[in-house]
Amino acid sequence: MGSCFSSNRSKFKKELTFLVNRHLKFFEHEAEFLNKLDGNTEWIPLAVTHYEEYLEARAKENRFFPPPIDVAWIWHLHLLHPVNYNDYCTKKFSKVITPLNGELTSKNPAFNSSKKKPTKSSIKLPKNSDNVEATWEELHEKQLGFYRKVANFKPTQNQIKRMVIHYLRFLHLMSTNEGVLVPTIEIDIVWHSNLHHPELYEKACKAIVGKLVNHNDLIEEKKLSNRYQETTKLYQNHYPGSYGIFIWSTTPNNNDDFCPCPEEVCDGNCGSCGGGGADCGGNCDYGGGHHCGGDGGHHHSCGGHHHSCGGHHHSCGGDTGASNCGSNCGSNCGSSCGGGGGD
């Protein structure tokens, strides 16, 4: 798979689709490890020490070199903060280390050593909502919550293609807006997948947005809530359909062929862009949602009961308001923000 932002825009969308499938496999491989933790974070400092040692060896080897499963999770946490990750790699190794295909999905067991003590990490982490440097434990808890929301997420390949298009639209919105934008959970999955390939992510950002866009999952939930509503308005001003409920539509409508993707990311062959589903009348993959005219879907529905942004229960802009938007809500809102000067 190519490592650069492709001038062949269809190829780029295929690359993203590949990365999403790989990312979902990553969660499958991490599942047993994460499910056994049961709130335990004592393993993290030593795993961070092993991660730094691993990354240094990986930089020297420059070959397929799968890390232990706990180190893979720490690498994942670091990759989700591209500004910090790129700065660390560049200063430490004079290059950015990109995981090779299969490295993060290896099932190598966690390195267990009761004798070895963790060393102080040299990695600078992003600041949290209190404007102090976050801890690895904070990053872990944030992403553990996200993992639990998507653990049983099994989209079809056509749904993944739609997710990719809406992610590219989301990126493009960042070029039109200086504020913080908040993704839906489906868009956030594609975003995380792209972040697992830092070289491709940086080139895509510079081609579409004009700069490297940071990914921040440490913003306080009240701000996430407010910015999610603003993102919804911005999206609907630019694109057809309603933000957060179009991925799961199974009923074609006139919007399905309409793809105002920026020239940089769309080659005009947009039959799979999605964008429809705003008025799908209840014909959603997991049951009708409130927006669809149904009584609330069971799982990942079109504005339904469970994972929705505009539905009935854990919503970001639905019947009960947006108070739970963010990494701890059971909604379709993603766990992170982007845009706005690197926020």
Cβ neighbours for 13, distance < 8 A, ≥ 6 positions apart: 161, 164, 165, 168, 265
Judge whether residue 24 has pLDDT over 70: yes
DSSP for 176-202, written as a single string: T--SEE--BHHHHHHHHHHHTSHHHHH
Cβ neighbours for 271, distance < 8 A, ≥ 6 positions apart: 256, 257
How far is Cα 135 from Cα 121, in angstroms, rounded to an integer?
11
Mean pLDDT of 119-139: 92
Judge whether residue 4 has pLDDT over 50: no
What is the structure's pLDDT at 74? 97
Q: Give whole-number Cα distances, 170 to 110, 129, 225, 259, in Å.
A: 36, 23, 17, 13
How far is Cα 51 from Cα 63, in angstroms, rounded to an integer?
16
Task: Summarize pLDDT for 219-232 with one digit per residue, the tens.
Answer: 877 788 888 989 99
What is the structure's pLDDT at 265? 44
The residue among 320 and 14 whose pLDDT is bigger is 14
The residue among 118 and 114 whose pLDDT is bigger is 118
Q: Give whole-number Cα distances, 227 to 40, 77, 179, 184, 231, in Å.
A: 32, 23, 8, 12, 6
Q: How confident is the model at residue 338 (pLDDT cuts 50, 70, 90)?
A: low
Judge whether residue 322 has pLDDT over 50: no
Mean pLDDT of 152-178: 88
The residue among 280 and 109 whose pLDDT is bigger is 109
Judge whether residue 139 has pLDDT over 50: yes
Q: Any idea of the CA torsion for 254, 272, 29, 195, to the nearest 10 degrees?
A: -100
Judge whether residue 255 has pLDDT over 60: no
What is the structure's pLDDT at 115? 66
DSSP bridge pairs for 318 = 321
Query: Could you give the angle at the alpha carbon of 201 between the alpha carbons of 149 and 135, nearest 5°?
Result: 55
What is the structure's pLDDT at 141? 93
Judge whether residue 58 has pLDDT over 80: yes
Share of the chain above pLDDT 70, in %: 67
Judge whether residue 293 has pLDDT over 50: no
Question: Shortest CA distance to 145 belongs to which of 333, 328, 330, 336?
Answer: 328
C-alpha radius of gyration, the chain, whole number: 19
Judge whether residue 273 has pLDDT over 60: no
Contact 343/337 with Cβ under 8 angstroms? yes
What is the structure's pLDDT at 91? 96
Mean pLDDT of 108-115: 72
Contact 309/244 with Cβ under 8 angstroms? yes
In the chain, the DSSP E strands lie at: 180-181, 338-339
The residue among 293 and 101 whose pLDDT is bigger is 101
Range from 20-29, 32-41, 107-116, 170-179 that averages highest in pLDDT? 20-29
DSSP for 27-66, written as a single string: HHHHHHHHHTTTT--TTHHHHHHHHHHHHHHHHHH-S--P
Residue-averaged pLDDT of the chain: 74
Judge whether residue 261 has pLDDT over 70: no
What is the structure's pLDDT at 219? 82
What is the structure's pLDDT at 2? 39
What is the structure's pLDDT at 102? 87
What is the structure's pLDDT at 282? 26
What is the structure's pLDDT at 240? 78
Q: How confident is the model at residue 248 (pLDDT cuts 50, 70, 90)?
A: low
Contact 294/280 with Cβ under 8 angstroms? no
The residue among 4 and 318 whose pLDDT is bigger is 4
Q: Report the half-sphere exposure of 88 (CA within 13 A, side-chain side).
A: 22
Mean pLDDT of 176-185: 86
Mean pLDDT of 234-250: 73
Q: Any idea of the CA torsion for 85, 21, 339, 92, to the nearest 10 degrees?
A: 10
3-class DSSP assignment, residue 249: strand
Judge whether residue 34 has pLDDT over 80: yes
How far is Cα 47 from Cα 30, in angstroms, rounded to an integer?
14
Token pair 């209190």 in the structure block, residue? 130
What is the structure's pLDDT at 178? 73
Question: Shortest CA distance to 275 belongs to which of 294, 258, 261?
Answer: 258
Number of H helices, E strands in the chain: 9, 2
Question: Shortest CA distance to 339 belongs to which of 181, 219, 196?
Answer: 181
